[in-house]
Each structure stands twice: as structure tokens, then as C-alpha cells.
Amino acid sequence: MRIIAGTYRGRRLRTLAGSMIRPTSDRLRETLFNILAPWIDGSRFLDVCAGSGAVGIEALSRGASEVTFIEQSRDACAVIEANLNTVGAARFATIERRNVSAALKALEQGSKQFDIAFFDPPYSSEMYLDTMEQLGSGNLIVPAGIVVVEHRAKFPPNSEYEKLYRFRELRQGESALGFYEFRASLE
């Protein structure tokens, strides 16, 4: 796996071994960031179920000012830390090693806010509904902020969760990306 564009372009990243790990493909990551390009520069980026950290590090490479990684696995957090050190970006990152729900609650209690969140749980996970509702109901996402969820193309998530409204869906092979805007109030 490699960084596709930006400051760290071409740098190779470590990945996790095992069948439970499904990293976002280079092709899908490139498509994701081509779409996010107008919003990425200077953004505060949240990478939920971060795995190797490739998506969040790509965000830093393309101009995000800071990235918070949420990952429960100790091994995955070690890989994220190693990858951040490899590209020299550790000072722009925070790693929350805990389950998603607890991490989101702690971030909200700490008054953290994000312009963009990327959520990529295991496709067979039961966490889509709870996590999307948590992101859509609180103050973690700024008004007009964007949440992107990667999912199996055959099983798209709902079109809305609390204050999150899907405005685009992109399919690429078996995977798809749902793009949601956070609307603080209905207009």
C-alpha cells in the first residue's frame, strides 16, 4: 500500500495481515480524495476504524491539518504509529485506541469537532447504525461537514441518520462510498 498523492506521495505503508482486515484499495482511496479535494485542505479529519491508517495519512498528505484515528486493535494502532513515523506526520495525529462508541463519546466530551469523517468498519459489522447515528446526532461534525462511509455495494446504509443526509453514493466493484452532509438545521 502506498500514499497516492500530496506531500507523502509514493511512500509505502505497512499493513495488517489477516483475513479480517480489508484495507481501502488504492483505487477507491484515490476516488475518495478526488471527490473530497475541495474540502481537504486545512481540514480536521476523523478516521474511524482506521486499520493501517492509510486513509487518514492520505488526508494529511493532501493537506488536512490534523487527523484523529479511532482503532480498537492494539496491533493496528502499532501499525498506524509506525506509518505516521515513516512519513514524519506523528505530530499532526492522535490515535484513540478504544472501541468506536467510547472514542466518539470521549472526543465529544472533549469538544473535538471534525470537518470530515471517514468510517470504514468490517462489512459484516453491526456497528453501521449506532456509529452513524452517533456521528449524526452530536456535535462532532461541523455544520456542512462531511461523513463518508465505506460499505458493501449490495447493502447501502440508510439515506439519513439524525442530521446526516446522503448526497452522493459511488460504487466501485464490490465496495461503495456513501457521502453524507451534516446539516445543523433543516433549510
Q: Domains along the chain?
A: 26-182 (3.40.50.150)
> Please, what sign has the CA dihedral across residues 142, 145, 149, 150?
negative
Residues of the chain with confidence (pLDDT) below 50: 19
> What pLDDT does 22 receive?
60
Cα gap 36→40, rounded to integer Å: 6
Determine the pLDDT at residue 123: 78
Asked if residue 83 lies in contact with residue 74, where contact means CB atoms within 8 angstroms, the answer is no
pTM for the whole thing? 0.94
Cα separation, 42 vs 52, whole angstroms: 22
Give residue 125's pLDDT: 82
Q: Which residue has the cell 506531500?
A: 7
pLDDT tens sequence across 74-93:
999 999 999 999 999 999 99
| 8 Å CB contact between 99 and 72 | yes
CB 53 within 8 A of CB 90: no
CA 176 to chain centre: 14
